[in-house]
């Protein structure tokens, strides 16, 4: 086999990404020092809404915070054990258990005591979502909590009454925020945050589109460090601006054939969250010249997409790109509800077959050689229907490999076995470890 050699170089915005992420947690932790507000909630919660309380309102999103804990295996194990001691089952969401453990131990993942929020603001599509913060509130002695139910069915069935259900809960939520914080709500800030969210989540999809290029300018392990901004605060103007910057850099890499890995001979995608403590498995794949160019998870957890007139899958056109002027609270909330309901990673909560269709589109458009499905014991939500996805991908003609693990509980990931499966998969696909 002819092994190509591509130019590679570190991403220029890498250090800026690290700084932005560090500042995100610092801002949250120090919010009270400047009279600000801090809230906690899920990565999918409608963060644009509390943004209407002021510019000194800082979120802590549970999933990325818990993933940071998972990366620190020693702390994560202590969190898990603390939760189990309280009587909670060890097969529950491992993000949730890391998060609760951090509260119970009163330890902040980045040093010091756990930083209690002033209120919790959640949304609910997975069985664990609202229950996560119900328990968190109890563990923290009764932090006020509000959650918005978004379980109205897949986007292809959306009707006005479904949007009304979401918007009415959002409007109640705004009243609740005013009562809970004693602050007057600012619709201008809401509109600004909504625009930021449309911009950032569409731009992230555009960045992922660039990875259709051969050689891929980004590998999935690096993408995890960037998609995270959408999970931290997709409504943040600073993060939306950063995605613009990242897009320009990735585009430059495409134009100049700067690759993520120097010897790309095999293109893969994964599925669901990776085992965060073992991201080195992606580097192991590179020893075969294999690059994971993304996944429905990396593309669509936060990225918002749509079917294009030519049948392809691409970044969703924002309301601003359509020339829509957002003037009122109600209009902003309707657009926000509609936008989020089209999120790719919300569709399989209703049917794995919708997810299979999107995965097959990715496999074709991104020109993949094979697919690795992480049967993730740590997330019932994203592992939902994964066995049916496997069947559908095989039926569509794509080689599929599965490995079991857990995104946040290292006790359930067997690194040697996963690597052994990767060896077999690579052999099946006809690739050998490169001797370069």
| Binding positions for another protein, rule: CB under 8 A | 86-89, 91-93, 124, 126-128, 130-131, 133-135, 137-138, 145-149, 151-153, 159, 161-162, 164-165, 168-169, 172, 349-353, 375, 377, 380-381, 383-388, 390-391
Q: How far apart are CA 193 and CA 79, in angstroms?
A: 34
As measured in angstroms, the least distance from the Cβ of 297 to another protein is 15
- Closer of 259 and 296 to another protein (Cβ): 296
Which of 25, 119 has the CB closer to another protein? 119
In whole angstroms, how close is the CB of 183 to another protein at the nearest point?
21
**Shortest spacing between CB 245 and another protein, in angstroms:** 37
Of 3 and 394, CB closest to another protein: 394
In angstroms, give the least distance from the CB of 179 to another protein.
15
Residue among 291 and 400 whose Cβ is closer to another protein:
400
Least distance from another protein to the Cβ atom of residue 78, Å: 19
User: What's the min distance (Å) between Cβ of 129 and another protein?
Assistant: 9
User: Got the DSSP string for 139-168?
Assistant: HTT---EEEEE--S--GGG--HHHHHHHHH
DSSP letter for each residue of 20-62: HHHHHHHHHHTGGGGT-EEEEE-TTS-TTTGGGG-TTEEEEEH
User: Strand pairing partners for 259?
Assistant: 8
Tokens 């890498």 sit at which residue? 14
Q: C-alpha angle with apex 345: 177 to 222, nearest 5 degrees?
A: 100
- From the list 139, 65, 67, the residue with the least C-alpha distance to 103 is 139
Q: What is the CA radius of gyration of the chain?
A: 21
Q: How far is the CB of 271 from another protein (least distance, A)?
A: 12
Shorter beta-carbon distance to another protein: residue 145 or 200: 145
Strands 305-307 and 313-315: what pairing?
Answer: antiparallel
The CA distances from residue 219 to 163, 192, 283, 290, 293, in Å, are 36, 32, 10, 10, 5
Nearer to another protein, 170 or 290 (CB): 170
CB of 392 to another protein, least distance (A): 9
253 versus 334: smaller Cβ distance to another protein: 334
Report whether 414 contacts 281 (CB < 8 A).
no
Q: Of the two residues 146 and 243, which places its CB atom closer to another protein in the complex?
A: 146
Identify the bridge partners of residue 119 per DSSP, sorted by sequence position. Answer: 39
CB of 343 to another protein, least distance (A): 16
Which CB, 380 or 414, lies closer to another protein? 380
Closest Cα to residue 316, out of 176, 413, 200?
A: 200
Q: Between 163 and 191, whose beta carbon lies closer to another protein?
A: 163
Neighbouring residues of 210: CB distance < 8 A, sequence distance ≥ 6 = 217, 218, 247, 250, 251, 253, 254
Cβ atoms of 40 and 59 closer than 8 Å: yes
CB 37, CB 53: distance < 8 Å = yes
Pairing of strands 119-124, 57-61: unpaired
- On the 0-12 / 13-18 / 19+ scale of CB atoms within 10 A, 326 is buried
Strand order through the sheet with 290-295: 290-295, 266-270, 370-376, 400-405
What is the nearest approach in angstroms of another protein to the Cβ of residue 325?
Answer: 28
- What gap in Å lies between CA 284 and CA 345, rounded to an integer? 27
């Amino acid at each position: 086999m002819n092994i190509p050699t591509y130019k590679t170089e570190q991403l220029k915005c890498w250090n800026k990404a690290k700084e932005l992420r560090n500042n995100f947690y610092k801002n949250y932790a120090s919010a009270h020092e400047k009279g600000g507000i801090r809230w906690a909630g899920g990565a999918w919660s409608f963060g644009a809404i509390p943004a209407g309380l002021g510019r000194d309102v800082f979120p802590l999103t549970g999933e990325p915070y818990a993933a940071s804990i998972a990366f620190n295996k020693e702390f994560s194990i202590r969190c898990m054990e603390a939760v189990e001691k309280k009587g909670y089952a060890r097969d529950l969401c491992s993000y949730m258990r890391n998060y609760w453990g951090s509260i119970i131990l009163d330890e902040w993942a980045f040093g010091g005591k756990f930083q209690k929020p002033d209120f919790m603001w959640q949304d609910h599509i997975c069985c664990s979502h609202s229950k996560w913060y119900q328990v968190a509130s109890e563990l923290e002695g009764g932090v006020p909590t509000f959650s918005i139910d978004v379980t109205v069915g897949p986007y292809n069935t959306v009707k006005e009454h479904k949007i009304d259900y979401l918007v009415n809960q959002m409007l109640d939520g705004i009243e609740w925020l005013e009562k809970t914080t004693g602050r007057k709500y600012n619709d201008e800030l809401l509109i600004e945050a909504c625009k930021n969210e449309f911009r950032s989540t569409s731009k992230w999809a555009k960045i992922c589109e660039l990875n259709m290029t051969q050689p891929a300018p980004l590998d999935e392990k690096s993408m995890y460090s960037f998609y995270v901004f959408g999970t931290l605060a997709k409504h943040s103007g600073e993060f939306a601006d950063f995605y613009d910057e990242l897009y320009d850099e990735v585009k430059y890499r495409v134009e100049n054939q700067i690759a993520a890995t120097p010897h790309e001979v095999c293109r893969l995608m994964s599925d669901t969250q990776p085992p965060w403590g073992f991201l080195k498995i992606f580097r192991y794949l590179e020893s075969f010249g294999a690059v994971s160019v993304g996944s429905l998870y990396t593309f669509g957890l936060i990225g918002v997409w749509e079917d294009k007139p030519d049948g392809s899958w691409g970044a969703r056109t924002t309301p601003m790109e359509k020339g829509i002027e957002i003037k009122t609270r109600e209009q902003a909330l309707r657009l926000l509800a509609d936008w989020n309901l089209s999120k790719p990673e919300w569709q399989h909560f209703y049917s794995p077959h919708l997810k299979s269709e999107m995965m097959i589109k990715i496999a074709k458009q991104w020109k993949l050689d094979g697919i690795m499905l992480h049967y993730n014991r740590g997330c019932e939500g994203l592992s939902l229907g994964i066995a049916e996805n496997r069947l559908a991908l095989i039926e569509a003609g794509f080689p599929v490999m599965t490995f079991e693990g857990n995104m946040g509980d290292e006790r359930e990931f067997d690194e040697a076995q996963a690597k052994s499966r990767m060896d077999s998969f690579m052999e099946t696909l006809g690739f050998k470890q490169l001797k370069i």
